[in-house]
Amino acid sequence: MNTETAKKSVLVAVGVIENTDGEIFICRRGASQHQAHKWEFPGGKVEAGETVAQALARELEEEVGIRVTDCRPFMRIEHDYGDKQVTLDIHKVTAFSGEPHGLEGQPSRWVPVSELHSYDFPAANSPIVDKLQTETGN
């Protein structure tokens, strides 16, 4: 078996959560997670039998305590970290109930789009930041 077929491949539902001020909610990854201590857009692995939308709703409720009421597809990214291949299915969350916060004890905050570039994100997240900044003219 070669390393390409042995590499773990993960489908991840990602939420770009935007508030009415146009700020984006981000969280910091824990020490034991892949890409530890980097900032991220919340979400998680799509489980067997789930759609991306179902996984996104479940993950955002579990991770940051919100119920998604409206979202739309934003972009899809495939990225190879060397040890892991990830496919990020990203949705822009524009309506939700609850106030997002790090339910797993992770630091979290609202950030203006113009300041996202100053946070250390995993490499796979760079195109998300770029697209958000392009859309808002930042």
Residue 136 pLDDT level (bands cut at 50, 70, 90): confident
| pLDDT tens-digit series, residues 68-99 | 999 999 999 998 888 888 899 999 998 999 99
> pTM for this one?
0.88
Ordered domains of the chain (ranges, CATH):
3-136 (3.90.79.10)
CB 125 within 8 A of CB 133: no
Average pLDDT over all residues of the chain: 89
pLDDT at 32 over 80: no
Number of residues in the chain = 138
Tokens 């969350």 identify what position? 93
* Least confident range of 16-30, 32-46, 66-80, 101-115: 32-46
pLDDT at 24 over 60: yes
| pLDDT tens-digit series, residues 41-78 | 999 999 999 999 999 999 999 999 999 999 999 999 99
Helix then strand then coil, in percent of the chain rounded to 5, is 25, 40, 35
Per-residue pLDDT, 1 = 44
Say which residues have a Cβ less than 8 Å from residue 14's Cβ, sequence separation at least 6.
41, 42, 43, 56, 88, 89, 90, 91, 128
Distance (Å, rounded) from C-alpha 76 to C-alpha 98?
Answer: 26
Beta strands 84-97 and 8-17, pairing class: parallel
pLDDT at 3 over 50: no
Distance (Å, rounded) from C-alpha 38 to C-alpha 32?
Answer: 12
| pLDDT tens-digit series, residues 115-132 | 999 999 988 899 999 999
